[in-house]
Chain A
Amino acid sequence: NAGVTQTPKFRILKIGQSMTLQCTQDMNHNYMYWYRQDPGMGLKLIYYSVGAGITDKGEVPNGYNVSRSTTEDFPLRLELAAPSQTSVYFCASSWGQGLNTEAFFGQGTRLTVV
């Protein structure tokens, strides 16, 4: 019963470095999301995907890229890390429209850019 799994849990990056945050789900959900959580700001949607091969921008996509080559995986890429990207990142997934539209979340990745 893994659900949504994110790696790594913690990471420190230097300005200008790049990294990929991994996210995988084993519930066969069509929809996947990446959020960032800043203190006192709630969750902001970065990117989302409605199925393999389809991605779209959310509210705060600048500085990030995503891909969705399989139903299970939805990695988030930071190309040139900046201090403004210091945050906690959450991946989530859901079935889609209908009564069971609950979003399931991973445990988060705490990223610090120095």
Chain B
Amino acid sequence: GNSVTQMEGPVTLSEEAFLTINCTYTATGYPSLFWYVQYPGEGLQLLLKATKADDKGSNKGFEATYRKETTSFHLEKGSVQVSDSAVYFCALENTGNQFYFGTGTSLTVIP
């Protein structure tokens, strides 16, 4: 079946620290992979995506590389800001256009 496992939170970092949020997946075939971000009181917004192995998605300083050999799509940012405080969801989309989401990782960045 299809599933996504992401690291448990919450995560608290100081401003300018390095961020990694781990995400691994189980899927048949060749899924597309996504990171979504949810700011307080809002819906989910696409942060970045990758549609095939070795693709790197990037946006707003965040990056993630689609690693088929390790079935992973870890999110990284070199220097986090207070405004990055949010909940981050890893997701995959597979045949049938269904999306499968991880449980979300809450990030708080303190000044």
Q: Residues of A with Cβ closer than 8 Å to B?
A: 4, 31, 33, 35, 40-43, 45, 48, 50, 58, 90, 92, 94, 96-97, 99, 101-108
Q: Are A42 and B104 CB-contacts (below 8 A) given A31-B97, A50-B97, A97-B97?
A: yes
Answer yes or no: B71 CB below 8 A from chain A CBs: no
Q: Using a CB-CB cutoff of 8 Å, which residues 8-62 of chain B contact chain A?
A: 32, 34, 36, 41-46, 49, 51
Q: Are A43 and B101 in contact (CB under 8 A)?
A: yes
A67 → chain B, closest Cβ, in Å? Answer: 19
List chain B residues, Cβ under 8 A from A58. Answer: 98
The answer to whether A106 touches B89 (Cβ under 8 A) is no
CB pair A33 B44 closer than 8 Å:
no
Which positions in B face A, CB cutoff 8 Å? 32, 34, 36, 41-46, 49, 51, 89, 91, 93, 95, 97-99, 101-104
A-B contact pairs, 21 of them (CB 8 A): A41-B103, A42-B89, A42-B101, A42-B102, A43-B89, A43-B101, A45-B98, A45-B99, A48-B98, A58-B98, A90-B43, A97-B95, A101-B32, A102-B46, A102-B49, A103-B44, A103-B93, A104-B46, A105-B44, A105-B45, A108-B43
Total contacts A-B at CB 8 Å: 54
User: A48-B98, A92-B99, A101-B97 given. 6 additional CB < 8 A pairs?
Assistant: A35-B101, A90-B44, A94-B97, A102-B46, A103-B34, A105-B45
CB distance from B92 to the nearest CB of A (A): 10
Q: Are B34 and A102 in contact, with the CB atoms below 8 A?
A: yes
